[in-house]
Structure 1
Amino acid sequence: MLSRPYEPTFNIPGETWLSILRTPAPYELEFFSKVMLNLIRNPNITSSYLFRAEIYYDSDNDASLPSADGTEADSFTRHMKPELRPLPASVPGYERTRTFVRRLVPRNPALDASLVQTCHLFSRTTAGGEEESVVLYIPHVTSPDDMPYYHPTVRALAFQHISPASGPPSNSSNPNAGSLSIHYALFPTTPLTPRLTRTALALAQIITKHSLGQKAGYTKRVHHDLLVPQKAVQDTYTRLKGTYARRLIEGWVETTDPSKHVFEDLGIAAFLVEVWGGVYAAPRRPGGEGDEGRGKEGGGEERPPFPGFVDIGCGNGLLVHILRSEGWEGWGFDARARKTWSALPPSTSAHLKELLLVPRGGTPWHNGLFPPHTFLIANHADELTPWTPLLASLSASAFVAIPCCSHDLAGARTRFSTTSPTASTPSPSIADPLHSATSPSADGPGPKAGSLARKSKPPSAYAALTAYVASLSAELGFRVEKEMLRIPSTRNACVVGRPSSEMMEIGAEERGRVVEKIKDAHASPASNPLC
């Protein structure tokens, strides 16, 4: 239960601080510290207006921790730009243990400015054995008018955690439980508003929820940004959104929600652009823009030209349109033409085909053989999803598969088993593609997306489908990688297959025999019909 007013326990001499609230904290200091470190690195947990934080300075990487006034002679900070140097601060009786300088990156830079902020961590143990910790945020602004909307309009804010000497009891109603309190240093001209109070309440709820999760044994299951850095994808997404989003939404002709489809395909396009940019010579974008420097490896070696892409089951064609508009040559096809196709520019609509992969009726069909090394995209391709690695193998192509609905190779709705006797036993990292084998950082990830480590739940139908696609790809000889895309969809698991050197060395006929053999072995997978 939150309480206010109460006798303040935090103050800095010479400054005016206002204690906003205090709540019981039935969790140890170590869990509070892990959560606060995670929130410093991932401010998007506390604000949907933020993309990420870029860490400019971490005192743990500095040879000497600067003194409170920032005058340490041999500190790394003296080499930093003045506007990025940590702002000095001290809390009487506390020892400063760590300092960060971060830049808060907004989702919409056209609407919100970025903000540089110093984050100080302090701690002490009282004579009575209480462990106390203070985390101090100081934005690098001097006027409330310069404060972005996503940040409280305060000069500074502090989070204080007090843990009793005997350790916090599990019952938060116990009067001897520890406490979490939040404090503001207001601007002289800015009063305490209801919004500031609501913000403090929301922050306290998030910190308490995540700290209790850490104490209960939550571990982070889903790890993002394994293939491409978060900054690269988000910056490209922001550029693509500013270039295409408004025009595509205003020109939407389908009955479905345009924002979902547009922003989802922009996110997928941003990921593909960054993946391709790291492998192939980047094309020159229309209008003369290009990335000439990305056409070579770090040592100056020329990258191969882009072989083109095919979006199998392309749906509304937006992904094809965005990628082609960015200079990446390719085309897409689907069993049924969409209204959107005719609304797109001729430079895109001419490359969207109404085709079936298997001949049926009078609809034109495609035999599934593409020019060698053509990059295949299966974005929620449904029945074609399990076929994607097979088709890619025939042309020794790399591919991206973003599964959605679960179908087997015969096109039947299916729930795959992770113990299929017809499939080779995949490695743990492939068998569980939604979980990263990457170890969390030493500071520990936050429990925003996780599960109790002691519980073992059976995989969902979606997880089993993704595992099946990854296992089938590995069986065909692909180097399998996986990523959880930052798109507005719960179906955001991505399987990336790159041809192995062995696959590239054998001929097309031999690859065809391998595909037929594996296809026959998977013709009746150990799966459960959904209907």
Structure 2
Amino acid sequence: MTKIEPVRLYPTPLAPPEGIRRWQTILGLPGAAAFGRADYETAMINLILHPNINSSNIIRADILLDTAPDEASMAKGVSDFGIGVETTRSTHFPPETGHTSDFFGPVLANVVRRIVRVIVPRNTAKDQPLLQSCLLIRHREPARTLAAVTATAFEALPHEEFVSVMYVPHVSGPDEIPFYHPNVAALVLTFASRSRNMMISYRFFDGTTVTEDGVLDNRLERTALRLLQTAHKHSQGVANGYKKRVHHDQVVAQVPFQTRYAELKARHAHTLIERWVESTDPKKHVFEDLAIAAFLIELWRARAATDAAYAADRLEFVDVGCGNGVLVYILLSEGYRGYGLDARRRKTWATFPEAVQAALHEQVLVPDLAVPDAAAAARAAALGDRIHARPFGPDTFLIGNHSDELTPWIPLLGRPFMVIPCCSHALSGAKHRYPVHSAGAVDAAGAPVKLSTYGALVEHVATVAAAVGWAVEREMLRIPSTRNAAILGLERAPAALAPADVVARAGGAAGFLDRSVELMAKSPRTH
């Protein structure tokens, strides 16, 4: 992609009229766009609905109002949509009248869509949510604030068509603007569809403007550049036919997950990080397990509405390969019953309350199908209580969170499960790479789809789960890990194979028991 070179456009070449002293057009991209009006509008609506794209300090937007008039309505004047006409406005939200009338002046503009959103910050202890109006506006003449710069810094074309997106935070002053939003009363991103020019303008609060020497606050200018570049990038992506490859929130909705995650983080994060005794990064592991716990709790709560087996007083979870035990600690602390298994005890276990320590077992799970003969059974018996021998109850839910050697086994154990694959192993416990060409899948050119090694492992687990009768569901978890693909088996479906058939087709599980014994003697690995 061609490097974007912005043009600084402040102060405007002509002194602004009295009514728009607080508006300044800050930066522009002259002729930089290779997309059309429809591409720009599609991209901008997506950015309005997903403000987290522009800032990592934001997790989402909650939409309070979204109105898109039909094409007949779009032919009307600006006042027909409430701009400058107070009586036609929703009484629930403050008017944007002053900002729009100052910016556009006498220009006839059509408000195509009005969205009122609440921007939800990632850390509510530091930042407050922000109520904001977002207006998608079409106009055939440059707005009054843009007239000077479009006539000088940019090529002016006849019959130009403009699209402006105006953002108006509902605040009474600069002290109410959170960190993740530029400290301005309003801002506008404008696209001229014929000349392919883009511009960003700020409306400053009273008492704040460009300084006399023409230097704008550095953070405001950097933010303007980022907003302009992001709008350009995403509009170009729409024009190029970009399709989102990763889809979150397929099994558990975003809002309940993020709400639960914030609650868990507030209750447990500080204590877990403060007491961390492992050599690994506490924040990475703690926040990851908090997010997994939030996902599971919301999954179980939703399922419990129609299936009593998922109720907190009935479900029993088993974290297979529980590692540091943090996930077990969180789920027990939140009122669920269950326990964790791992071949090696971790130092973290000793930091937990006694009730949690009692639920963490230094044992290996050896599936029955991995003990194929009497000799193997005798070796397993000799290990005594180091082998997990407790049968799973009917309401057991299996969790495989980066469970390595046990990952391909979990769908074969006959209980509902969620597995998050990490390192690739065969049923024998040996390291193994699965075929990277997805069976039967082809790309747009008809070539076989080639997967990464990790993607091939995920597809293998999903294929095995479907073969033994699970209606497979998938979720790309919102966790701080690149290994974030979750495979879930919650409902039964017609089975093509028995678990024993899967093991036989894989060449058997010889060596799994011996490798489990070796694993017990090794120092714990970290991820």
Q: Give the TM-score normalised by the residue count of structure 2.
A: 0.79
State the one-letter code of the partner of 1:14. Answer: G
Displacement, 1:212? 2.2
Change (3 A) 1:262 1:100: same
Percent identity, aligned pairs only?
43
Change (3 A) 1:106 1:133: same
Q: Alpha carbon RMSD of aligned pairs, Å?
A: 3.2
Partner of 1:496: 488
Alignment map for 1:147-158 (pairs within 5 Å): 147-158=177-188
Partner of 1:14: 19
1:5 aligns with 2:9: yes
Q: Deviations over 1:279-310 (max 9, x none)?
A: 22xxxxxxxxxxxxxxx569xx9975532100
CA contact (8 A) 1:66 1:72 kept: no
Displacement, 1:147? 0.7
Change (3 A) 1:308 1:12: farther
Extract unaligned runs of 5+ from structure 1. 165-176, 281-295, 433-450, 504-510, 526-531
Alignment map for 1:161-176 (pairs within 5 Å): 161-164=191-194
Partner of 2:316: 308
CA contact (8 A) 2:64 2:117 kept: yes
Partner of 1:36: 44
Partner of 1:293: none
CA distance in 2, matches of 1:136, 1:419: 47
1:408 aligns with 2:426: yes
What secondary structure sits across from 1:181 in the alignment?
A: strand
1:518 to 481, 499, 502: 502
Change (3 A) 1:468 1:10: farther
Alignment map for 1:183-262 (pairs within 5 Å): 183-191=201-209, 192-262=216-286
Displacement, 1:125? 3.9
Partner of 1:341: 349
Displacement, 1:213? 2.3
2:114 to 81, 99, 102: 99
Displacement, 1:479? 1.4
Q: Which has the higher contact order (CA 8 A, sep 6+)?
A: 1
What secondary structure sits across from 2:386 in the alignment?
A: coil
Displacement, 1:499? 3.5
1:460 aligns with 2:452: yes
CA contact (8 A) 1:10 1:183 kept: no
State the one-letter code of the partner of 2:229. Answer: Q
What secondary structure sits across from 1:489 in the alignment?
A: coil
CA distance in 2, matches of 1:10, 1:383: 71
Displacement, 1:60? 2.4
CA contact (8 A) 2:137 2:165 kept: yes
Q: Deviations over 1:59-90 (max 9, x none)?
A: 128998742146566x7x35xxx3x4663445
Partner of 2:57: 49
Most deviating of 303-312 and 318-327: 303-312
Partner of 1:139: 169
1:108 aligns with 2:123: yes
CA contact (8 A) 2:276 2:282 kept: yes
CA distance in 1, matches of 2:83, 2:437: 59
More helix by share: 2
| Higher radius of gyration, 1 or 2 | 2
Displacement, 1:44? 0.5
Most deviating of 408-417 and 149-158: 408-417
Q: Deviations over 1:361-386 (max 9, x none)?
A: 57711248411230000000011111
Displacement, 1:46? 0.4
What secondary structure sits across from 2:108 in the alignment?
A: coil
Change (3 A) 1:367 1:18: same
What secondary structure sits across from 2:498 in the alignment?
A: helix
CA contact (8 A) 2:28 2:197 kept: yes
CA distance in 1, matches of 2:358, 2:445: 51
Change (3 A) 1:149 1:390: same
What secondary structure sits across from 2:134 in the alignment?
A: strand
CA distance in 1, matches of 2:479, 2:231: 25
Equivalent pairs, count: 452
CA contact (8 A) 1:99 1:121 kept: yes
Most deviating of 5-14 and 340-349: 5-14
1:87 aligns with 2:96: yes
What secondary structure sits across from 1:224 in the alignment?
A: coil
Q: Deviations over 1:292-345 (max 9, x none)?
A: xxxx569xx997553210000000000000000000110001000000001111
Displacement, 1:27? 2.2
Q: Give the TM-score normalised by the residue count of structure 1.
A: 0.78
CA contact (8 A) 1:356 1:363 kept: no
What secondary structure sits across from 2:340 in the alignment?
A: strand
